[in-house]
Amino acid sequence: AQKITQTQPGMFVQEKEAVTLDCTYDTSDQSYGLFWYKQPSSGEMIFLIYQGSYDEQNATEGRYSLNFQKARKSANLVISASQLGDSAMYFCAMSLEGGSEKLVFGKGTKLTVNP
């Protein structure tokens, strides 16, 4: 069964600096998708970025990039030029192609951006 591990319960970063949130995954499947979601204190789940297992290039979306290292089974989220509004919980998730299509989530990392 697939599993997502986020080892950082909390992270702090200074405004305007970059921060990396760690995510490792475990699956024996060759085809899968990796996602990051942001959950601010308001409780919504906001999609940030997606990486397919066969994508050769790392995904980027504005200030978000996904550092995908397939051999190490890691999919770290990099946020550049942190803003106060980036303070939130961040969840890494995985889905399997050809499987039940459900997302399996990690426990999340709480990011705090300091002014």
Partner 1 sequence: GAGVSQSPRYKVTKRGQDVALRCDPISGHVSLYWYRQALGQGPEFLTYFNYEAQQDKSGLPNDRFSAERPEGSISTLTIQRTEQRDSAMYRCASSLAAITDTQYFGPGTRLTVL
Q: Which positions lie near partner 1, rule CB under 8 A?
A: 4, 33, 35, 37, 43-47, 50, 52, 91, 93, 95-108
By C-beta, is 18 or 46 nearer to partner 1?
46
How far apart, in Å, are the Cα atoms of 9 and each of 6, 30, 48, 55, 68?
7, 28, 19, 28, 21
By C-beta, is 17 or 29 nearer to partner 1?
29
Provide, rounded to whole angstroms, the least separation between the CB of residue 15 and partner 1: 25
Provide, rounded to whole angstroms, the least separation between the CB of residue 11 and partner 1: 16
Provide, rounded to whole angstroms, the least separation between the CB of residue 94 and partner 1: 10
How far apart, in Å, are the Cα atoms of 63 and each of 46, 68, 79, 101, 103?
15, 16, 6, 28, 24
Q: What is the dihedral of CA 60, 70, 93, 77, to 10 degrees?
A: -40
DSSP per-residue string spanning 91-106: EEEEEETTTT---EE-
By C-beta, is 14 or 112 nearer to partner 1?
112
Provide, rounded to whole angstroms, the least separation between the CB of residue 105 and partner 1: 3
